[in-house]
Amino acid sequence: MSSPVTLADLAKMDNADFIATVGGVYENSPWVAESVLNSAPFDSITSLHKAMKGAVDSAPEEKKLALINAHPDLAGKAALAGELTAESKEEQGKAGLDTLTQSELEHFTKMNDEYKAKFGFVFILAVRNATKHTILSSFEARLKNTRMKEFEECVTQIHKIAWMRLLTVLEPADTGFLTCHVLDTAGGKPADKMKIVLKRVSGGGKIGVIGEFVTNDDGRLTGGPALKGNKEFTVGVYEWTFNVGDYFAKEGSSLAGTPFLSNVPLVFGIDNPEDHYHVPLLCSPYGYSTYRGS
Ligand SMILES: NC(=O)N[C@H]1NC(=O)NC1=O
């Protein structure tokens, strides 16, 4: 795959090159990219996606229907005939749809046919991070919906597909960063001097341990964000490991010889590398919780 285009390079392109670069993020529908040319240049993938999404959402019903039907079936005829776009081939391949057994293939054909017979359009699911099992259970669940709900769901899935395609084509803006905060809910105070390890579990960049930190008096990471900018803060799955056991031992509040909580792992996903993700931990010796903060 060619290396991602920077937003600065995208801004310098003429219309034809702009369409050649991002025209394929809405499957077989370059009109979406064409309709945002007036709003160029874009300073982030987020703003480009927002503009493209807006063009689709404000398009008439027939145009949305044509957009849905511009997608190939999952594990359908086009896939079998080797006629998928490069983008769709990659996505369907990542979900394992290019290595189905004969009986799995028949199952997919049955679900595609049932879905089309009920709703009159192609079943759409963003499958880049899916498996054949999650796709089949999604088919089952969505077959119970109304046509209107499914129409909306397909458009929502198309926006997700476009977002993930933009992330493969363009280099994100350098604005994203990851922060943390640990609060001791038993003591009613920030958890200071707690050791935290950060690992990248999957995604772009080095996999494995990528940082070791200690919280300051305010329970935040000494030295600022754990990851910062588009070289470090990439789409993927990450894991904090909080050394809660040692912290509460230091506080003198661990009553047991073998503490109930020792290391607390927290696995979280980064979908928008241009955003600020604040991933905190609220903990006591016997429980913990988190949320996506700001
Ligand atoms: N039918 C359908 O959902 N197709 C699409 N989904 C996806 O992730 N890529 C596609 O081509």
Which CATH number is associated with domain 177-289? 2.60.40.180
Active site residue 276: no
Q: Read off the pLDDT of residues 196-208 as tens digits, 9 standing for 90 and up.
A: 999 999 998 899 9
Direct distance between the N- and C-terminal alpha carbons of the chain, in angstroms, rounded to an integer:
34
| Beta bridge pairs of residue 289 | 282
Which pTM does this prediction carry? 0.94
Q: Read off the pLDDT of residues 206-230 as tens digits, 9 standing for 90 and up.
A: 999 999 999 999 999 999 999 999 9
Which pLDDT belongs to residue 1? 57
| ipTM above threshold 0.95 | yes
Q: Which of 280, 273, 269 is nearest to 237 (CA)?
A: 269
> Residue 63: how many CB atoms within 10 A of its CB?
15
Strands 276-278 and 177-179, sheet pairing = parallel
pLDDT band at 256 (very low <50, low <70, confident <90, very high): low
Cα 59 to ligand 1 centre (Å): 20
Nearest CA to ligand 1 atom 2: 124
**Which backbone phi and psi does 246 adopt, to 5 degrees?**
-65, -35
Nearest CA to ligand 1 atom 7: 126
CA 19 to chain centroid, in Å, comes to: 24
Which two tokens mark 234?
Answer: 């990439």
Q: Which of 71, 184, 48, 189 is nearest to 122 (CA)?
A: 71
Domain boundaries, the chain: 7-169, 177-289
Class (C level, CATH) for 7-169: mainly alpha
Half-sphere exposure of 207 (CA within 13 A, CB side): 6
